[in-house]
Amino acid sequence: MPNLRRLFDGLMDRRLATIPHFAASPEERLELCRKHGDFTVAYSTAVQDGLKHFGDQRGYLDYATKTGHTFVLGDPVALKEDRERYIKDFVRVAANPCFVQIGPETAKILATLGYRINHMGVDTHLTFDSHSFAGKKNETVRYSERWLIKQGYAIIECDGTKTQSDRIQAISSDWRAGRIVSRREMRFLNRPFFPELSPQMRRFLILDPQGAAIALLDFDPIFEGGAVTGYTAAFKRKMAGTTPHAEVG
């Protein structure tokens, strides 16, 4: 009953404190992200629709409300020396918000404010110029890559011109059809998928032996000081029935 759900959410949200809104355009948020977006979900905070924003021209943090609770996504997108100020200002005006997908520095600041911190996982970092897929623990990865190439599959990077967006959408829709919740995309922790590439994203495709795209892997950029310093996997989707070697390869 989605209408009843929205009615209940609205009723609970009206009990929340009034939070000053930072009316930044997507372009302004993306520019701030290029300067200060050095954590995993920074790019998502800049391009994801439906989030609310708190901050000013120097930086911001993103949040959403649900059933009378306020949830902040990630660290502040701001100079490192300014992040403590944004966090403390938001806690003061939002009255006990929750913070999710945060880094250790934000956790330390929140601990001084009386927050309890739950450590539920870490990001795995691979350094391009020193990482190796040699060794027994990467044997499955190497085998899947060799298998794909031997069977006539190809792994390519797509700049948005090599495969039409309707084919990309078909891969995504086919993948979603097999999910428990298939009516809508996950939001907040993950941003909704869209077939067109956003600025500075990277997309890789697997083509079957006939040259048709059957799987995709999208990466969001991670920035520091205006330069891309890394990438984080954002979407991984494939057509039903695609070889399991596609995902590993």
- Specify the number of domains making up the chain: 2
Compute the Cα dihedral for 74, 76, 81, 86 and give only its sign.
negative
Same domain as 56, residue 11: yes
Last residue of a domain, one of 78, 112, 146: 112
With a CB cutoff of 8 Å and minimum separation 6, the contacts of 36 are 42, 59, 77, 78, 79, 80, 223, 224
In a domain, 162, yes or no: yes
User: Using an 8 Å Cβ cutoff, are 85 and 92 in contact?
Assistant: no
Same domain as 191, residue 107: no
Same domain as 91, residue 7: yes
- Given pLDDT bands bounded at 50, 70 and 90, which one contains residue 11? low
Same domain as 62, residue 148: no
- Taking only the tens place, the pLDDT of each residue in 187-229 is 888 888 888 888 899 999 999 999 889 999 999 999 998 999 9
Domain holding 181, by residue range, is 136-248
User: What's the pTM?
Assistant: 0.84
In a domain, 187, yes or no: yes
- What's residue 178's pLDDT? 77
